[in-house]
Every structure is written in structure tokens, then in C-alpha cells.
Structure 1
């Protein structure tokens, strides 16, 4: 059986308004059209459907049974289109900043405290945060990006955000169960690894001259945020990166049991198009971000 062709949207809008208001005149006023145009579009709709939708009387109109059944469907579809159009293309989206970055940065640096601070300073800007880690790094996605690495990307502007050091972190609950008095005590704990970073447990243990700990032992994860969540819950020990754990160290959620801190060869960087910002709101966010990480402002 052949499907009925979808009627033009302007015909459906005319039908919905006339059926809702039970008046061609009021529908014409609402849609800024003439009564004749409304009437003609509804006649065209009825012809395509091969079904009358209205009972036309001398001074009024009524819906037929088919019109009564069709109205809620058309009304709902138009409402969904209006809502979706406003959500995607509305006034607020002209002030939106699209940012791609790691889940760890968004969860642990750009946290609730800092987001609240940003909103207080820039209440007119909406942020859209994208944590898609599978996009190719050489391709810009959004207005700006927060990348982890050595800052050696080509074809983009790069501003360093952090100067990280690496050191073991764990929860107070874990230390209460199994103390860490010296570095070699790590052999009694679950070491949590994050894949994809140049420095890991092997580099830190060598830096700390720990000879009795096997750096290959322990679970591996592909996201740093997952590892920190487990550590905060009291499971295992991970290498903390200063820019991501400073708040937790301050409030006591995490503890750094040892003083040895290995300078990282990789850091967080602000990355934005080589030609600069086409979105002025993105530049405002980028300037705020740089001031709150490195204390610098964007170059003019």
C-alpha cells in the first residue's frame, strides 16, 4: 500500500490554527495571512488527503471526525518543531561557546565552584561542553579546545594552562586501612593506571627511587576521571596531577602521602583557531580560563 505524501508545512500550520481557533479569520490574523489564503491552503490540504476536515456553515466552522483526529497530531508536531527550533537556534545559542576537552578537566578543574564563578562574571554566556575523546586532535571541534599534551600542534593558536607535577594520591579511608609510611609500601596497594599519558607509575617510581614496587601491577583505565572517582571512593592509589587534584587536597578528600613530585612533560593547553575567535563569547571564556589558570590574559 502506497503511503500518503506528507502535506506542505504551511498547509498544516493553517489547518492547525483554524482548527484550534475554529475560525479562518482568527487563524489568518495569527499567521499574518489573508482569510482567503488560509481557506485556499486548507482546501488544498483536504484535496491532498481526499478528506474534508471542516464542516463549513454560514457563520462558523466545525471539525469533521477526521479533523478532530488529525488536530492533536498536527498540533503536537508543530509544537515539537517550535521547541526544537528554539532550543537549537534560539537567542541563547547566539551567545553559546562550544568547548571540547577531556572529561577529567571538565570534572575536576572546571568544577562546580569554578563554573559558578564564571556564571557570576558572565551570566549571558552559555557553555556547551563536549568530551568526545575520539575526534582527531588536528581537527578543531567547536570554538575552542582544552588539550592535554606538549603544545606542539600546528595550524592553531596554543596557550599553556597548567604546569603539572605528578605524585601519588589516595583517600583518607584507604590510609586508615593500610598506611603508606614509605614509598615501597605502595607494593601493598592497588596501583591505578591511566592509558595514553607519557609519564606513569614507572616514571614516578624511578624518580622516587622505589625499587620494590612493580609498576606494571594494577588496573588500567582510559579516562583519568574514572580513576580519580575510584580513588576518592577508597579504591587504590593513583598518580595525581596537581591541576586536577588541588581542590581535593585542600578539602581533604584526597591525601598526598609522599613529598616527591615529578614535573610532567605534558600539560593542559587552550587551543583555538589560527585566525582567532569568530565568536566573541568564546574569546571572553578563553580569557577567563587563561586568567584563572596561568594568571595571564589572551594576546590582543
Structure 2
């Protein structure tokens, strides 16, 4: 009996197909692969001809996998994950064990760093590389193992575990409150407000907080602003103005009395902190250890 030779599919076409299926968009797939949209379309068309079946339903602005496309996508994604894991294992085989963690500047400075000594004491065999940035890093390009992100927990192709929520409350130093007594939202409105600028500014807006507490204001002029949140905290500690504090992140300053709540007006954030790993790669043992440690550390905050 003659044995049929297995069908040989070009790797470039499969890579284009997988990226297009993941993004549901040829243009975004082309951007990721650093080729033209026409090249992606051509590769996928050739793949459809070779398989004698349609893989995508093509729309004006998006594409969708057909049933055949879904079956192929599952197989190709699993294969690429296996290849990625093998490449990662080989590349790290002769290197010291290093855990790459990324999170926001605020989370790194104000929560993670005060706790990380405990993790190092428990697991001295694990080297840590911490990348503090308010930009979202690409897990593959930046070789990130685990991230702590602030948002809705709906990042595509990532597994997200809820850590804790955040609430906002206005605080200042005892010396500032003594010099400028405040008893209401209107009093806070007329005080010196500390502002956040840069990528993290989308996480905090005084106008939003005032609206949530019954005071509609136009765009406020920033008298004193900074490009990262830890600098705002330092300014508040130095008596420079009123900080919109992130409860659960800077509680140590409030509990210690270095910063004091001005009024009882805790406003829940629309976002939360999540522990994030790459769904398309097997989570390394070091990352699993760190994940379990963080989940344990934040248990009472949930």
C-alpha cells in the first residue's frame, strides 16, 4: 500500500496565518511581522489554495476564521507555543536563573520594593530583573516572565489573576493640613493639587474624583505636576500639596501618619491590579513561585 506523503506547508505562511488569526486583522498581523499587509494576504491566499479551503471570512476592516481556519489555528498556535518553549529553554539553558518582572513605576516603587526582600530571603536561588515602566511591554520581544498590570484584566492572549482593587482618597502631610485646614470637597478644590502627567496620568484624574464626589469642575490648571506617581508621593510627604492617594498601594504612609486623609471620601477606581503571564508560553517554575508568593502577599487585600 502506497503511503501518502505528509503535506508540506511553508513556515512563513503559517506564521502569517497565526498572527492574522490572533489579531483578526491582516494589517495588525503585518505590523507585528514587519511585512506589508499585501504580503500577509498573499501568504494566506497561497495557504488556502494549497489546502483547497477558505481559512478566513474577509470583511472591510476585519477578518474572521472559518471553521477550517479555527481548526488550523488551534494546531498552529499549539505548535508555535511548543517551538517557543523549546527556544526559550535552549537560550536559558546555560544562563543563571533570572526572573524578569515588569510593573508600573508606582507599583514597583511603592508596593513591590518594600516587599521584595521577603521574596529574596525565601528564594535566594532566583535572580530578579525588575523593569519599572508605565508603558506596556511585549512579553515576547522583552522576554518578560510575569507582569503586574493596572487595568480591567482584559489584555488579549494573557492570563490575568486579580490581585487587589484600588480606591482614591485625598491626603496631605500633617503640616500642610495644619497650615491650610480643609473640611470639604470644595476646600480641597481650592487647595494646591498635585498632578500626575505622562503615561500613568490616564490612571488618575482630579476632575474625575471631584465629579464622583458631587463637584463638577472644568479642566483644572496644574500648579505642581510630576511625570511619575512616586514623585507625587514625595511632594505630598514634603508638604507641597494634596495628593490623590492610591489606597492599597501607599497605605504604609497613611497608617504611619506621614500622610493623613483630609475627608472621608474613598472613591473606588474603575481599574485594579492583576498578575499577568503569557498564555502562549509555558509559565516557568520561577514565575510560578513568584506568582504564588504575590497571591499570598495580597490575600488580605482581596
For the aligned pair, the TM-score class normalised by the smaller chain equals: 0.5 to 0.7
Check if 1:217 corresponds to 2:221.
yes
Query: Which residue of the partner structure matches residue 244 of structure 1?
Result: 249
Indicate if the aligned counterparts of 2:104 and 2:149 stay in contact, CA closer than 8 A.
Answer: yes
Conservation of the 8 A alpha-carbon contact between 1:140 and 1:273:
no
Deviations 1:209-238 (CA, angstroms, capped at 9, x unpaired): 236x66613234332122112111111112
Shift of residue 117 of structure 1? 2.1
d(CA) in 1 for partners of 2:124 and 2:207?
A: 45
SS at 1:240's partner residue? Answer: strand
Q: Is the 8 A contact 1:180 1:257 kept in 2?
A: yes
Which residue among 158, 177, 180 is the counterpart of 1:178?
180
Change (3 A) 1:287 1:296: farther
Q: Deviations over 1:33-65 (max 9, x none)?
A: xxxxxxxxxxxxxxxxxxxxxxxxxxxxxxxxx
Q: How does 1:118-129 map to 2 (within 5 A)?
A: 118-129=119-130
1:266 aligns to 2:271 (yes or no): yes
Root-mean-square deviation over aligned CA pairs: 2.7
Q: Unaligned regions of 5+ residues in structure 2, if any? A: 1-91
Decide which moves more: 158-167 or 118-127: 118-127
Deviation per residue, 1:113-168 (Å, 9 max, x gap): x1222223223222211113345567673111111111110011111112111111
Shift of 1:271: 0.9
**Pairs aligned (count):** 206
Alpha-carbon distance in structure 2 between the residues aligned to 1:90 and 1:176: 59
Taking structure 1 as the reference length, the TM-score comes to: 0.61
Summarize the Cα distance change of 1:204–1:270 in structure 2 as closer, same or farther, 3 Å threshold: same
Equivalent residue, structure 2, for 1:167: 169
Measured against aligned partners, the alpha-carbon deviations of 1:79-100 in whole angstroms (never above 9, x if no partner) come to xxxxxxxxxx998x63321111
Give the structure 2 partner of residue 191 of structure 1. 193
TM-score normalised per structure 2: 0.61
For 1:214 and 1:177, locate their aligned partners in 2 and report how far apart those are by CA, in whole Å. 27
Tell me if structure 2 keeps the 8 A contact 1:166–1:261: yes
Partner of 1:28: none
For 1:140 and 1:295, the matched residues in 2 are separated by: 34
1:38-187 matched pairs, under 5 angstroms: 94-112=96-114, 114-136=115-137, 141=142, 142-187=144-189
Q: Which runs of 5+ in 1 are unaligned?
A: 1-88
* In 2: Cα distance, 1:138 partner to 1:152 partner: 15
Deviation at 1:295, TM superposition (A): 5.3
1:60 paired residue number: none
Structure with bigger gyration radius: 1
Aligned equivalents of 1:272, 1:138: Cα separation in 2: 8
